[in-house]
């Protein structure tokens, strides 16, 4: 069995904490580990399990690889999607990669951004699902519902196949409240978890029958794949031509071999701030408070204060999320609409939809402290032994002031070492590189000045991370 961890998605309903450049699967929302790390670790103990295949957006490749490395879980492959095409093509790429390695393994397909409270119950559900998958079924895991939830899709059970397993009768869309109450009362419906188990060849066979255009595009994209460091980069043009569709619509709703196995494991898709509030342990006033928060005569609230004191007085059922560059205040019952705010930010071309003030890079990160017309100030942290690309800017000059560690600087034909409280100047148009030759993180303040300060004003001549 090979786990396939789907690491795409933008998590827009968890804005402002989740952003396109650093979405919710890379954040520690439901514990100390990130959601990707928790997904990988809940596989520990499953029998006959190979290393996972990770499918992620090309822009997130370094974050995904580093987070798995931090917990000692090396994937057998990281497949990079040059653009988002939903779950059906992503799983097809993973199936093609698995079949290329020989044999016909079972694929345990898991989103990277779900939470599971009871890992033992999760693993116990995998065993009967694996047996059904070996028989040629395409198995989905149906979550035993605990309430009449209107934010999830549902699956209705059909005829019994074996103990605690049924044929899928139908998939149904997110219901209204009255319909959801009926589903719950009938006992015939489960929440659609988005987790699956099937043989790689069976998925390819069913996709070829129901969406041959999608399979053809995925085959072409994978056939044109190239290795890039630890990543497999599929052909961009071929994958861009692939239709966009979910595995539910493309395959599971059409196949006659869909089966459902129940799972009662404290599952949540953590698809909104209210879902996170439901999932976590709350205080005596039903508040979920994280960070420096004072709550007086307030109840039923979720507050996340990462940067400053946030105070509540006499309010109920609010969501308040404070980040470096944005604050969200919302009715807890309206948080499914947070994505509408993100859509407005995108229409206005505001950076808050795309990235945080702190931006992670494979060599470390930078934090945009201040900025204005013709200047920008950043705090840059470079990990030991890492270096930025050899680069040049057309429109800006840079001043570097080291506040911790030692920097090795390439500036034109020069190479120099600068230490704490020392500085250097990079004139506009000069080829340069920053490196940390030490054993502690290098921290410096960068002051940029010029007519244009965008991140796309970079010409790279050499890069350890394969960025063009």
The model's pLDDT over 155-184, given as tens digits with 9 standing for 90+, comes to 999 999 988 899 999 999 999 999 999 999
Contacts of 218 (CB under 8 A, 6+ apart): 89, 92, 93, 96, 239, 242
Structure-token pair, residue 102: 């020989």
Total Cβ atoms within 10 A of residue 417: 13
Structure tokens at 206: 């069913």
Residues 6+ apart with CB under 8 A from 210: 250, 251, 254, 255
Domains with residue ranges and CATH for the chain: 2-268 (3.90.550.10), 273-346 (no CATH), 358-462 (2.60.120.10)
The two tokens of residue 394 are 């057309």
Length of the chain: 468
Taking only Cα atoms into account, the Rg of the chain, rounded to an integer number of angstroms, comes to 24
pLDDT band at 380 (very low <50, low <70, confident <90, very high): very high
Separation between Cα atoms, residue 174 and residue 113, nearest integer Å: 19
Tokens matching residue 373: 């017309």
Q: Indicate whether 223 pLDDT > 90.
A: yes
- The structure tokens listed for 329 are 């205040």
In this predicted structure, the answer to whether residue 387 has a pLDDT above a threshold of 90 is yes
Token pair recorded at residue 72 = 């000692």
pLDDT at 20 over 80: yes
Rounded CA separation 381/239 (Å): 35
Instruction: Find the mean pLDDT for residues 300-304.
Output: 97
- Whether the per-residue pLDDT at 464 is higher than 80: the answer is yes
Cα–Cα distance measured from residue 149 to residue 142, given in angstroms and rounded to the nearest whole number: 14
**Residues ≥6 apart with Cβ < 8 Å to 175:** 150, 154, 183
Whether the CB-CB separation of 409 and 462 falls below 8 Å is answered with: no
Average pLDDT taken over every residue of the chain: 94
Calpha distance 156→422 (Å, rounded)? 67
Q: What percent of the chain lies above the pLDDT cut of 70?
A: 100
Q: Give 291-359 as a DSSP string.
A: EEEEEES-BS-EEEEEEEEEEEES-BSEEEEE-SS-EEEEEGGGGGGHHHHHHHHHHTT-GGGT--SEE
**pLDDT tens-digit map of 270-297:** 999 999 999 889 999 999 999 999 999 9
pTM (predicted TM-score) = 0.90
Strand partners, 400: 424, 446
DSSP 105: -
Residue 299's closest CA among 290, 291, 288? 288
Both tokens of 264, joined, read: 């009662």
Residue 204 has pLDDT above 70, yes or no: yes
The single-letter DSSP state of residue 250 is I
pLDDT digits (tens, 9 = 90+) for 311-325: 999 999 999 999 999
| Tokens linked to 249 | 């619509």
CB of 154 closer than 8 Å to CB of 183: yes
Q: Given this model, what pLDDT does residue 142 score?
A: 96
pLDDT given for residue 186 in this prediction:
93
Band (151; pLDDT cuts 50, 70, 90): confident
**What are the residues facing 408 on neighbouring strands?**
417, 435
The residue with greater pLDDT, 298 or 229, is: 298
pLDDT of residue 468: 67
Token pair recorded at residue 255: 């196949």
Check whether 227 has a pLDDT greater than 90: no
Q: Cα 467 vs. chain centroid, distance in angstroms?
A: 20
Contact 107, 4 (CB under 8 A): yes
Confidence band (pLDDT; 50, 70, 90) for 64?
very high
* Cis peptide leading into residue 16 (ω within 30°): yes
Contacts of 381 (CB under 8 A, 6+ apart): 364, 365, 366, 441, 442, 443
Q: Tell me which DSSP letter residue 249 carries.
A: I
Average pLDDT, stretch 231-246? 95
Share of the chain above pLDDT 90, in %: 91
pLDDT-wise least confident of 38-52, 225-239, 416-430: 225-239
d(CA 327, CA 15): 9
Q: Is 118 helix (H, G, I), strand (E, B) or coil?
A: coil
Q: Which residues contact 200 (CB under 8 A, 6 or more apart)?
A: 2, 94, 95, 98, 99, 104, 105, 106, 107
Can you say how many angstroms the Cα of residue 397 is from the centroid of all Cα atoms in its chain?
34
**What is the DSSP track for 298-310?**
-BS-EEEEEEEEE
If we measure between CA atoms, which residue out of 99, 152, 107, 98 comes closest to residue 126? 107
């Amino acid at each position: 069995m090979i786990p396939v961890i789907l690491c795409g998605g933008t998590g827009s309903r968890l804005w402002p904490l989740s952003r396109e450049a650093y979405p919710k699967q890379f954040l520690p929302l439901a514990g100390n580990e990130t959601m990707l790390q928790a997904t990988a670790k809940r596989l520990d103990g499953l029998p006959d399990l190979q290393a996972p295949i990770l499918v992620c957006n090309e822009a997130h490749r370094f974050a995904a690889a580093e987070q798995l490395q931090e917990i000692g879980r090396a994937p057998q492959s990281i497949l990079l999607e040059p653009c988002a095409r939903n779950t059906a093509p992503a799983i097809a790429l993973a199936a093609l990669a698995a079949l290329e390695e020989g044999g016909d393994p079972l694929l345990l397909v898991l989103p990277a951004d779900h939470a599971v409270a009871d890992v033992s119950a999760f693993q116990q559900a995998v065993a009967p699902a694996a047996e059904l998958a070996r028989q040629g079924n395409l198995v989905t895991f149906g979550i035993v519902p605990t309430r009449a939830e209107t934010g999830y899709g549902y699956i209705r059970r059909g005829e019994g196949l074996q103990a605690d397993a049924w044929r899928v009768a139908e998939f149904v869309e997110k219901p209204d409240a009255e319909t959801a109450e009926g589903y719950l009362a009938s006992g015939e419906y489960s929440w659609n978890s988005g987790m699956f188990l099937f043989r790689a060849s069976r998925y390819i066979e069913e996709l070829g029958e129901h969406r041959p255009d999608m399979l053809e595009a995925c085959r072409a994209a994978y056939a044109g794949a190239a290795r890039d460091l630890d990543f497999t980069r599929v052909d961009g043009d071929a994958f861009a031509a692939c239709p966009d569709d979910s595995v539910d619509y493309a395959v599971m709703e059409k196949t006659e071999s869909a089966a459902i196995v129940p799972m009662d494991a404290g599952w949540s898709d953590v698809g909104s701030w209210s879902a996170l509030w439901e999932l976590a342990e709350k205080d005596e006033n039903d508040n979920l408070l994280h960070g420096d928060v004072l709550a007086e005569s307030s109840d039923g609230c979720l507050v996340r204060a990462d940067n400053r004191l946030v105070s509540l007085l006499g309010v109920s059922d609010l969501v308040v999320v404070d980040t470096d560059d944005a604050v969200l205040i919302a009715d807890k019952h309206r948080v499914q609409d947070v994505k509408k705010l993100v859509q407005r930010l995108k229409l206005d071309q505001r950076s808050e939809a795309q990235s945080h003030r702190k931006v992670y890079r494979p060599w470390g990160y930078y934090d945009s402290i201040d900025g204005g017309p013709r200047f920008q100030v950043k705090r840059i942290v470079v990990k030991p032994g890492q270096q930025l690309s050899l680069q040049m800017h057309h429109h800006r000059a840079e001043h570097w002031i080291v506040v911790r560690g030692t920097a090795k600087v390439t500036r034109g034909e020069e190479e120099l070492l600068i230490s704490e409280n020392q500085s250097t100047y990079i004139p506009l148009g000069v080829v340069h590189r920053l490196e940390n030759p030490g054993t502690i993180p290098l921290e410096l303040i960068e002051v940029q000045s010029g007519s244009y300060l965008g991140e796309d004003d970079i010409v790279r001549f050499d890069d350890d991370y394969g960025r063009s």
